[in-house]
């Protein structure tokens, strides 16, 4: 055993040395891929971590601490009625405008609280895939046929994939059902409506803070909400302050001081930060820091401190894997978040040539490539539009839209740490195969 351990250490030393020794630093494509990796990581840190992930960690922490296990088992448990659990999973996903990474803390939270594998996976898929905002944008830019096909496919897939996962791992699910039948959940410490209001308020802040810019010609509701999205976010922030005082019993003076500091930071960032896209980050950081401090130092209710520690636990588990995944995805497939993308190590021409037409292979390559790429919320639509201009078929376009937003390399790494390798592989294969078949059928119809 000792010899095997030493040989393993020797292997990794030799492998790292070999990689460093043969590093192709004189290759222009390699250097461009490194730039793409760092560019995507920088953009992810600026645009996604503060406004998306940090609120998501607090939502996950609130679910883990304040939502009773009995409520999770009632709606998502292995013994819950299927029509109820899958309906709730699909509807929950439709409300949230989140990406494949932001959904992870929420999925991890309900899964660890006892949710059945099928409903939890249905929620995991539906969160990024069934977003109402993404469906509206797809219809508006790519056409009503593709938008409707994406909506129907995503809703059906969330249920089909959940049922398939539950069937494949039915032995484990049966054991979970038997265990949960003997669970007597403790009584709720507060009315469910109060907890629901708190979680809803946090989710609303997440949604409105990340409300994407509409198309230039759009003058409807989307444009109205985007114009006043920070007022909506501030309004829900005030509602959160009310919940912190009325529901969590935090000291009103503390909450007032935190709200004042957040408002002051909003004014200061508007005055002194020249880059407009970075202005919202300061108030969000100040608000989250103030909330964390209040929760950690509150001695009236131990659950408040537990909420902060639970949120930190999710961040500690998920953030390192996301960082590795984002860097790897940028290196392999490039940084595609802006109009001027930076190429990865995989030549762009390969992807463009592979997804033309409507063969099974082109649909498979579109869904496979999309599954490993990282798409921020709503960015998949302009990317598909650009690929369509280069000759992408309608079928592969749908395949990418059904597989890409719900999966990514960072997403897979985190799912594996939660569910294990076998379940993650089955989930990824199901998404890719279903997206491939849906794209192929749709491409032959249109």
**Burial (CB count within 10 angstroms: exposed 0-12, middle 13-18, buried 19+), residue 219:** exposed
Question: Domain boundaries in the chain?
Answer: 27-250+298-445
Residues contacting residue 225 through CB under 8 Å, at least 6 positions apart: 208, 211, 232
Q: In the prediction, which pLDDT does 289 show?
A: 94
Q: What CA–CA distance (Å, rounded) separates 343 from 355?
A: 17
Q: Are 77 and 115 in contact (CB under 8 A)?
A: yes
C-alpha atoms less than 13 angstroms from C-alpha of 230 in its C-beta half-sphere: 13
Sign for the pseudo-dihedral over CA of 273, 279, 282, 283? positive
Q: What CA–CA distance (Å, rounded) separates 217 from 394?
A: 24
> Rg (Cα) of the chain, in Å, rounded?
23
Q: How far is CA 393 from CA 308, 346, 347, in A?
A: 47, 21, 19
Closest CA to 405 of 390, 384, 425: 384
Q: How far does CA 285 lie from the centroid of its chain?
A: 20
Residue pointed to by tokens 């503060």: 50
Q: In the prediction, which pLDDT does 178 show?
A: 67
User: What is the length of the chain?
Assistant: 446
Q: What CA–CA distance (Å, rounded) separates 286 from 337?
A: 27
182-226 pLDDT, tens digit per residue, is 555 556 666 778 888 888 898 888 888 877 777 666 667 777 888
Residues contacting residue 104 through CB under 8 Å, at least 6 positions apart: 56, 318, 322, 411, 414, 415, 418
**Burial (CB count within 10 angstroms: exposed 0-12, middle 13-18, buried 19+), residue 48:** buried
Closest CA to 402 of 101, 134, 189, 108: 134
Q: In the prediction, which pLDDT does 364 show?
A: 92
Tokens found for residue 32: 């461009």
Q: In the prediction, which pLDDT does 264 show?
A: 93
Long-range contacts of 268-275 (CB under 8 A, 24+ apart): none
Q: How far is CA 223 from CA 96, 138, 220, in A?
A: 19, 16, 6
Q: What CA–CA distance (Å, rounded) separates 88 from 110?
A: 13
State the greatest distance between any 2 C-alpha atoms of the chain, in Å, as a whole number: 70
Tokens found for residue 25: 């630093």
Q: What CA–CA distance (Å, rounded) separates 258 from 244?
A: 11
Q: Are 376 and 48 in contact (CB under 8 A)?
A: yes
Residue 335, φ and ψ in degrees, nearest 5: -105, 115
Count the neighbouring beta carbons within 10 Å of the beta carbon of residue 420.
11
Residue 341: helix, strand or coil by DSSP? coil
335-383 pLDDT, tens digit per residue, is 766 656 677 777 766 666 777 778 888 899 889 988 887 776 666 776 7
Which residue ranges in the chain fall short of pLDDT 70?
1-2, 68-75, 77-79, 93-98, 131-133, 136-137, 140-141, 178-190, 215-219, 333, 336-341, 348-352, 376-379, 382, 385-386, 389-390
């Amino acid at each position: 055993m000792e010899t095997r351990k030493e040989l393993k250490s020797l292997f990794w030393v030799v492998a790292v040395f070999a990689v460093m020794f043969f590093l192709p630093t004189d290759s222009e494509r390699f250097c461009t891929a490194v730039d793409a990796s760092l560019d995507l990581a920088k953009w992810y840190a600026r645009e996604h971590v503060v406004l998306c992930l940090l609120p998501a960690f607090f939502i996950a922490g609130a679910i883990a601490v304040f939502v009773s296990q009995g409520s999770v088992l009632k709606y998502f448990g292995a013994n819950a009625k299927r029509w109820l659990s899958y309906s709730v999973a699909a509807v929950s996903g439709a409300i949230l405008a989140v990406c494949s990474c932001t959904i992870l803390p929420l999925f991890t939270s309900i899964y660890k609280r006892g949710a059945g594998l099928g409903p939890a996976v249905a929620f995991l898929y539906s969160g990024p895939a069934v977003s109402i905002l993404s469906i509206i944008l797809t219809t508006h830019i790519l056409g009503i046929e593709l938008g409707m096909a994406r909506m129907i496919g995503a809703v059906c897939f969330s249920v089909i994939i959940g049922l398939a996962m539950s069937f494949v791992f039915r032995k484990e699910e049966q054991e979970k059902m038997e265990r949960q039948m003997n669970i007597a959940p403790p009584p709720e410490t507060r009315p469910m409506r109060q907890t629901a209001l708190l979680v809803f308020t946090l989710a609303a802040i997440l949604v409105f803070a990340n409300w994407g810019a509409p198309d230039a010609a759009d003058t409807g509701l989307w444009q109205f909400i985007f114009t006043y999205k920070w007022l909506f976010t501030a309004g829900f922030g005030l509602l959160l302050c009310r919940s912190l005082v009325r529901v969590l019993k935090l000291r009103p003076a503390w909450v007032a001081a935190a709200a004042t500091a957040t408002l002051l930071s909003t004014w200061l960032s508007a005055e002194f930060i020249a880059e407009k896209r970075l202005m919202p980050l300061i108030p969000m950081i100040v608000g989250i820091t103030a909330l964390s401090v209040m929760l950690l130092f509150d001695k009236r209710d131990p659950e408040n401190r537990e909420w902060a520690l639970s949120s930190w636990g999710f961040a500690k588990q998920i953030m390192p894997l996301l960082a590795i995944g984002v860097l790897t995805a940028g290196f392999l497939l490039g940084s595609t978040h802006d109009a001027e993308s930076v190429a990865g190590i995989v030549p762009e021409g390969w992807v463009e040539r592979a997804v033309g037409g409507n063969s099974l292979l082109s649909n498979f390559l579109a869904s496979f490539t999309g599954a490993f790429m990282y798409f921020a919320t709503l960015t998949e639509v302009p990317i598909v539009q650009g690929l369509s201009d280069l000759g992408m078929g309608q079928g592969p376009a749908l395949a990418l839209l059904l597989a890409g937003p719900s999966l990514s390399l960072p997403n897979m790494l985190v799912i594996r740490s939660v569910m294990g390798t076998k379940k993650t592989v089955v989930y990824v294969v199901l998404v890719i195969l279903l997206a491939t078949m849906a794209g192929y059928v749709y491409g032959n119809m249109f």
